Amino acid sequence: MAAGPASPAWSWRATADRVSGAHGWRADLLMLLVGALGALAFPPVDLFPILVVCFGLLMRAIDRAASWRGAGRRGFMFGLGLHTAGLYWLTDAILVRADTFWWLVPLAAPGCALILAPMAAAPAALCRLARAGWPRWLAFAGLWTLFDMARVFIFSGFPWNPLGSTWELDGRVGDAMIQPASWIGVDGLTLCTVLLALLPLAGRRGIVMALAGLAVWGAAGWARLAARPVPAGHNPVVVLVQGNVPETQKIAAQDDAAIFRRYLALTRSGVAQAMANPAWSADHPAVFVWPETAFPGLLQEDDLARQMIARAGAGAAAGVIGSIRRDEDGHWRNSVMAVAEPDGRVAALYDKAHLVPFGEYQPRFLPFHVVPGDGMAAGPGVRTWHVPGMPAAGPLICYEVIFAGQVAQETDRPDWLVNVTNDGWYGDTAGPRQHLAAVRMRAVEEGLPVARAANTGISAVFDAHGSELGRLGWNRQGVLVVPVTGSLPMTPFGRFGRWIPIVLALALIMPTLWLHISVRIFRRA
């Protein structure tokens, strides 16, 4: 009897075996390209189904490697491709200062990817301790999650583009798919994503399980949206001021007075709009927000400038202003200040704690100097502001918002989060969109609304479900006036943080590795 046609799943596995059967440099090049292809899953492309192909090929390459060392090399090349393509936009920051650092242009993204690639090599090598098939797939998913989470310990931390962020689709569907982050965080979503991507390797049964898992995932998200409506709360009518000042103009300190006047004019217009908004009241005060380093000078030392800002924002409870400052020890800090009426006093102050390596501080291992001067000094960590007339706020500066479980003070939970940033360095690329996706994910994880003011965009407000309430797009000058909705009760992730995905990952790793070790001991006996 003639054999019938192979099922699609088995054809896929056979194809994966043929493609991943390369050896030597050909296998390395293949994994580099497969990893780069996987970057299409990240925002703003959001082509998450591509991960089924990419992780299927990676796992087949791991299985066919001659040893754990070969498997680790396949994982390293995959990670190198994934992060080089996912971080291509870093090159734009070098181009801003190309007259000085032109030689770094081809090295920026690959250089960072070289640092991150071992976090993909390690799970690829270690999963070989588990038996091929289901045990190895489970071990790999858990190991990938743990090593991906370990990126917070590289320099000052760089957990950019976790695979869990690939579910941040536009609209209500995306809102539903990211709701489980309130229980397990973005790293828990990463764990589930890797598992779903590997299941089709099991054939028809695996495909059915993947589809069932996807259905349960989506249903859980929809159920949470329906069961926990966002309350009105008492949060402010926020005025996000987007000055749209080119980074070259900021660096050259050109027309600082004109830049300041622009922000004052936008603030006056925005606060007037906020006070005309039906939501504005004593319980919903107006708060205006300027982006990271928006003030062209040292605001803490400039009494007159603060008074002018307070007058421009007359009627608002406070203004949240990004500015560089010099502390009492002479150290430079990237800060944000709450400026209050009527005299423009600094009612609250926050210094950035997570500094950008190569941008705000100089890693000691570099044999050349990149950061101007001595760089910045880091602040003590997240704080909650209690400014009279303004709901308790949790300030975050720039990429601090990418650190899951580290955005709100545990002992003094804020009512809302405010993130100031300047993505003008990275141009109209995927970088600002990926950064915005991190903001949205933090809202879901913590059950807190987030307002984000960006110099060149994208400024936006998300409610406690991660639903977008308003947006001011890239490369636009203007104000975004949005009533910020209330917060939700503390989420499980907000309470227990990253311990939840760690425990889930270990629950997959330990049984599979223990089973393999026990079998080997039994055979030797």
Q: Which residues are catalytic?
A: 292, 352, 398
If we measure between CA atoms, which residue out of 128, 199, 163 comes closest to residue 512?
A: 128
Q: What type of residue sits at position 318? A: A
**Closest residue by Cα to residue 395 from 339, 331, 451:** 451
User: What are the start-end ranges of the H helices in 117-180?
Assistant: 118-126, 134-149, 171-177
Distance, C-alpha 180 to centroid of its chain: 16
For residue 334, the surrounding DSSP H or E stretch is strand 332-340
Three-class HEC string of 29-80: HHHHHHHHHHHHHCCCCCCCCHHHHHHHHHHHHHHHCCCHHHHHHHHHHHHH
In three-state secondary structure terms, 1 is: coil
> What is the torsional sign of CA 105, 376, 292, 100?
negative
How far apart CA 127 and CA 113 sit, in angstroms, is 22
SS3 category, 455:
coil
Among 139, 152, 135, 80, CA closest to 112: 80
